[in-house]
Structure 1
Amino acid sequence: MGNVSVKGVSRRFIKEGGTPTVALDNVDLEVKDAEFVCFLGPSGCGKTTLLRIISGLDIPDDGDIFLNNEKITGPGPKRGMVFQEYSLFPWKSVIENVIFGPLMGGAKKKDALKEAEKYLELVGLEQFKDSFPHELSGGMKQRVAIARALANEPEVLLMDEPFGALDAQTRNVLQGELLQIWQKKHLTVLFVTHSVDEAVFLADRIVMMTSRPGKIKTIIDVDLPRPRGRTSQEVNALRDQVLNILSEEKDK
């Protein structure tokens, strides 16, 4: 189960001698198990801050986060995080990167290796298990990062612009592969992006956020069947709707 509840969450940052910057202001959100939710909004609206709070890497000044009615107070294996930067250990091979989390969680190395190979096969990198990060392309590195997150058997996968640094072709391929993994694993996915096209292609719901201070402006249900054409009439209409909402916030 991967039900996430965000209740009255606010986050403020204070520089020494300065006034507080309100990143998030009283955010409420309910995410259902196995739902794919994308967060979209102007730069600096608190999308990544919210994701980090849900991961347990940051703490709110007000409010609480719950996973399956259990309050989140710090990082945990039930929430896997994939960052925009590849964040792999450069001195470890691909498979050593993937087994790192399970080993830290107390798994036996033989069992961890067996599971790691399964996840590397899932992301199409089983033939590169002994390679090192510097030998991989950007897209391959991000596949390793996804496999590493999945190796801990999380209930929620948190993704902070994971494909933002990739070229358009690779990005489109990985979006399709991510949907296949999501459907196979029945994960809850919370995905931060700046790309309207990406959000429309991936999401069950798009959470539109306001300019700072970050609040939820509206939530758009994406009631389109998968696989989705990227240029269909329905997709274009939804893209225009999202772009108009973003323009309203950028003009403020």
Structure 2
Amino acid sequence: MGRVNVKNVSRVFTKKEDNGSMEALHEVSFDVEDGEFICLLGPSGCGKTTLLRIIAGLETQTSGEITLNGIPITGPDPKRGMVFQQYSLFPWRTVIDNVTFGLEMQGISKTEARKQVEKYIDLVGLEQFKNSYPYELSGGMQQRAAIARALANEPEVLLMDEPFGALDAQTRNILQDELLKIWEQKNVTFLFVTHSVDEAVVLSDKIVVMTARPGRIKEIVEVDLPRPRSRTSHEVNLLRDRVLKLLEEERFHK
């Protein structure tokens, strides 16, 4: 199960240089059902990444509460996997050794961990590259390895912070399609931060549109379109235009 409930979450940062403060998030509330694919979308600096890091347990909210299956989140946990924009692979470890890292940290032997992760390496299409080092891989392949590493812990929720933001358009589209296949196979809840309206419309069940800083929920857009979605269909274009207008409003309200 991967139900996430975000209730009245605010985050205020203290500025050391002038003893001032900056509110990044203001009373954010929304619910994520088990197995949903949710995209967080909003202007730069609206707190998307901060919110994701709080859900991951890497940061703490100033007020409010976030629960996973009714249990408050108070710190990192293997039940919540995280994939960053920068691939964050260990350069001295091969693909398979990178993917086993989380299991080894849980006390599982290297041999047993390697047996467990083979299916995830195969799932992301890196079976032939499992003994390669990160510098031998393209950016897209490195990100596949990072996704496999997150999945190897068998999380209930996978948190992704602009994971395809540094990739070229063609590779990005390919990995979007592959990610949806993984999501359908694994039935994991996905929370996915993106700056791309196109990406949000193609991937998600719901788009959580945030306001300019301090980040609030502007609107939650239901994406009631069958998959796979044509990126140029009339329905997709209508939805894209609707979301773009929401973001345009925030640009003028800054």
Q: TM-score range by the shorter chain?
A: over 0.9
Alignment partners' CA distance in 1, 2:117 and 2:134? 16
Q: Aligned residue for 2:125? A: 124
SS of alignment partner, residue 84 of structure 1: coil
Alignment partners' CA distance in 2, 1:57 and 1:158? 12
Give percent identity, aligned residues only: 67
Amino acid at match of 1:12: V
Q: Aligned residue for 1:148? A: 149
Q: Aligned residue for 2:98? A: 97
Unaligned runs of 5+ in 1: none
Alignment partners' CA distance in 2, 1:146 and 1:76? 16
Q: Give 1:114 shift.
A: 1.2
Q: Aligned residue for 1:57? A: 58
Amino acid at match of 1:14: T
Q: Give 1:194 shift.
A: 0.2
Q: Aligned residue for 1:45? A: 46
> Does structure 1 residue 187 correspond to structure 2 residue 157?
no
> Does structure 1 residue 20 correspond to structure 2 residue 21?
yes
Amino acid at match of 1:182: W
Q: Give 1:208 shift.
A: 0.3
TM-score under structure 2 length normalisation:
0.98
The number of residues matched between the two structures is: 252
Q: Aligned residue for 1:34? A: 35
Amino acid at match of 1:54: I
Amino acid at match of 1:248: E
Q: Give 1:155 shift.
A: 0.3
Q: Aligned residue for 2:236? A: 235
Q: Aligned residue for 1:83? A: 84
TM-score under structure 1 length normalisation:
0.99
Alignment partners' CA distance in 1, 2:217 and 2:200? 16
Alignment partners' CA distance in 1, 2:218 and 2:244? 13
Q: Aligned residue for 1:217? A: 218
Q: Give 1:226 shift.
A: 0.2
Task: Output one character per residue of 1:34-93: Cα deviation in whole Å (capped at 9) or x when no partner.
Answer: 000000000000000000000000000001110001111100000000000000000111
Q: Give 1:192 shift.
A: 0.2
Q: Aligned residue for 2:4? A: 4
Q: Give 1:15 shift.
A: 1.1
Q: Aligned residue for 1:135? A: 136
Worse-matched range after superposition: 112-121 or 193-202: 112-121
Task: Output one character per residue of 1:80-135: Cα deviation in whole Å (capped at 9) or x when no partner.
Answer: 00000000000111100000001111223232111211100000001111100000
Alignment partners' CA distance in 2, 1:243 and 1:27? 21
Q: Aligned residue for 2:167? A: 166
RMSD (Å) for aligned C-alpha atoms: 0.6
Alignment partners' CA distance in 2, 1:162 and 1:139? 10
Alignment partners' CA distance in 1, 2:93 and 2:29? 40
> Does structure 1 residue 207 correspond to structure 2 residue 208?
yes
Alignment partners' CA distance in 2, 1:65 and 1:111? 34
Q: Give 1:18 shift.
A: 3.6
Worse-matched range after superposition: 202-211 or 98-107: 98-107
SS of alignment partner, residue 100 of structure 2: helix
Alignment partners' CA distance in 1, 2:151 and 2:113? 12
SS of alignment partner, residue 30 of structure 2: strand
Where do 4+ consecutive residues of structure 1 move more than 3 Å?
Answer: none
Alignment partners' CA distance in 1, 2:203 and 2:138? 23
Alignment partners' CA distance in 2, 1:147 and 1:195? 23
> Does structure 1 residue 248 correspond to structure 2 residue 249?
yes
Amino acid at match of 1:26: E
Q: Aligned residue for 2:74? A: 73
SS of alignment partner, residue 13 of structure 1: strand
Worse-matched range after superposition: 53-62 or 104-113: 104-113
Task: Output one character per residue of 1:190-247: Cα deviation in whole Å (capped at 9) or x when no partner.
Answer: 0000000000000000000000010000000000000000000000000000000000
